[in-house]
A and B are shown apart, each in its own frame.
Chain A
Amino acid sequence: MNEYDERLDERLGRLGDRLRSRPSIIAKGMQTLEGMPQVKPARRVVLVPTLARSGLGLAACLAVGVSLWLSLACPAGITLAEVQKSIDSKPWVLIRYDDGAQEWANLRERLCFVTHADERNFYAGMRDHVKGVWRAYHSNWGQQIHEEPFTPRPYPQTPWEYAVGDWDDRGIDRFWRTTVERVSDDINGREVVRFDTYDVGPAGLRVLAQQVWADPETRLPVRIRKYLGPDQGDNCKTGDFSFPESGPASIHDLGAPEGLPTVVNWGIIEPQAKAIVEAAKEALRQFPRNVRIVRKSTYGLTISYSLGERFRKETYGIVSSDHQSPLAIELPDDVEQIRAWASSHLTLFRVEIYGGQFCYSYDTGRGLWPTSADPGATVDVRRDRDAWAQSIMPITDQWPFIGNVGPMRVLKDVPDMPAGCVLLRYEGTRLRRDWYVDPARDYICVKQAEFAPDDIHTRQVERTDLTRLPSGQWYAKTVHTPNTVELDVHPLSDSEIEELTRENESSGFFNGERLVKEAVDRGAKATFWAR
């Protein structure tokens, strides 16, 4: 366990001690339950399989079929399409979510508003789908309103898509098909119909994606629950519908402060800073796409193979015998020997393949505990537009990350400036980022620092051993983060970069579907998150 691990371990341990030092509320809670009726399993009727097994045979199944047909014909037999259509005549749709977020849709003027807040931040945004304008305020983006044009997309098209707002993920390039199941339910004693929408992956696996509750009489939606996927902790959020006659005219009606200056897209960035950002982006674009990158860290080794837009990344690791802390590893110097060495000295933890549209990830689930009877392997498939960039981290990371829209400028005469560099500085209300870039060496960020009001978020990164590839591009061999060894990277030599051959391709080297099949054959649990 490295120093940073130990510090985190200590902090978590201290927090645990504090939590356990509080008086327990179990006795009080159990006392509350005493006066409540005994809880029972929810009734679930699985009629057809039961009948089929019971020997009543075809006649019974036919009877069930007729019953189902009759139920579809009655008022409660509404369809999800009818529910979605029911809002067409409404001027406004408001969905209030349980996390405090609100989504407003002006269906006549194609205006959508979103607002959400947590204990630290507040956001209010508006999209005008007619004019193609986005305006937003975020409490952490500085005291200004941001405005950006956007190109209207094929979706949303229907009032439902405007109101529910999930068109961005679900409307384009559908990978999975969906199935909808309808069940009776109740909300606070009120009879409703619930539609469960499942995404079905290529191997037939089903993932619950969305639930909509509707009033069987009016057919209007009452409630929606969206499942957010593993990236957001497998959480869901639930919202209740209402249909007001009017709504916000601007983001200020939702709480964005009045009188703030409006920043239009890149307007706030100094031209010099913008030129550096563009040059850095160009350097990234010029970086070779057909490469092999070997990365060694404290935890193990990754070998990334990139061929155009596709990649394969293998992650190997090793742990010590106390099953807690990773060991430092010593690799052979010759890059050609590394893979063979890794397969005999290390354990394969993970294989990721990006085929150009989807990212396939096989987690072997073994290695950290060699005696484990169940490897707990998993394989998943997800859409990932940035997969290539992620795959060659930290190569992409060596250029300034321009994720924030905000005030950015260039400084030249500052203390401790590395030779030949210029300083690119972003300043937000709670954060300052400094990038010391070297224009002579592809604008690589040789030193980077982030400053936040609390010490915990102050971070520095230094990149050294800058090396030039045969094709002319520069990269940093070593990345050092003061106070932690976690991010140390030691690519071994220039010879790590090589052209990959068609032979690699034909052997299934970049074949994600094959990876999934082989993983499932080995007992891995498969999940499809292609959204």
Chain B
Amino acid sequence: MGMQSDSELVQIVLDGDRQAYGRLFERHERSVLAAALAVLGNYHAAQDATQEAFVRAYVNLGRLRKRDSFGAWVREIARHEAIAVRRRVRQTQIAGSAAPEEPSASSADGTLDEQTRLLLDAVTRLPTHEQEVLTLYYFEGHPVKTISEMTARPVGTVTMQLSRARSRLQKWLKENPT
């Protein structure tokens, strides 16, 4: 039996099986974390934003029209959440908080180096469909065949999108220093 697609899992959740949401969570956790991490640069802050994004996505799941775009949707929520977190942190600093709450300063272990952050930033600039397969492949560690089943796209399409995503990343990383 093949793996259920995102679209099918969303329908199962809407039909009342809350645990199916855990499978969606599991499937996209790392890629959503990566999206938040690209904005915040700190694992701990990004994990908080990721959790918040999944909760928000659950609350609004009934409004999701393109159910096969669940991953892209929740990543976008995470990105917005991360931007909001960053803004709140800056406002706190501007207001003269005695203890700065800049996420990247909260823990040496949780802080990204600049090169990794640039790479993540480049990943978030990829077209949605390419970002999806690239994050599932590298960040979630799924093989191409599994991604094909998860996204309901042919294996050849997934492979091609992966290849294009890599080319785009190469080009972007070489040509866009800002």
Contact = CB atoms under 8 A, between A and B. Distances in A.
Interface residues on B, range: 35 or more
A48 interface: no
A90 interface: no
**Residue among B47, B144, B156, B163 with max Cβ neighbours from chain A (10 Å):** B156
Nearest to B44: A22
B59 A36 contact: yes
Interface string B10-43: 0001101011011001100110011001010101
A24 B51 CA distance: 10
Interface string B151-175: 0011111011001001101100111
B139 A30 contact: no
Interface residues on A, range: 35 or more
A415 interface: no
Given A26-B22, A26-B29, A374-B157, A15 B139 contact: yes
Contacts of B128: 233-235
A13 interface: yes
B154 A372 contact: yes
Contacts of A19: 30, 33-34, 37, 139
A36 B59 CA distance: 8
Interface in A5-39: 5, 8-9, 11-13, 15-16, 18-20, 22, 24-26, 28-30, 32-34, 36, 38-39
A18 B99 CA distance: 28
Contact of A120 (B58, B154, B178): B178
Interface in A91-150: 98-100, 119-121, 140
A23 to B, nearest CB: 8
Contacts of A366: 156
Interface stretch (A216-224, A416-424, A448-456, A510-518): A448-456
Contacts of B39: 119
B178 A430 contact: yes
A365 interface: yes
Contacts, number: 166
B100 interface: no
Contacts of A33: 18, 21, 55, 58
Contacts of A456: 115, 118, 173-174
B149 interface: no
B48 to A, nearest CB: 9
Contacts of A326: 163
Interface of A: 4-5, 8-9, 11-13, 15-16, 18-20, 22, 24-26, 28-30, 32-34, 36, 38-42, 98-100, 119-121, 140, 230, 233-235, 299, 323-324, 326, 365-376, 430-431, 450, 452, 454, 456-457, 459, 484, 486
8 contacts: A8-B173, A15-B34, A19-B37, A29-B55, A365-B156, A369-B160, A376-B157, A454-B115
Interface of B: 13-14, 16, 18-19, 21-22, 25-26, 29-30, 33-34, 37, 39, 41, 43, 47, 50-51, 54-55, 58-59, 61-63, 72, 76, 80, 83, 86-87, 114-116, 118-120, 124-128, 131, 134, 138-141, 144, 153-157, 159-160, 163, 166-167, 169-170, 173-178
Given A369-B155, A369-B157, 8 more contacts: A4-B170, A20-B139, A33-B21, A39-B62, A119-B41, A368-B159, A376-B160, A486-B170
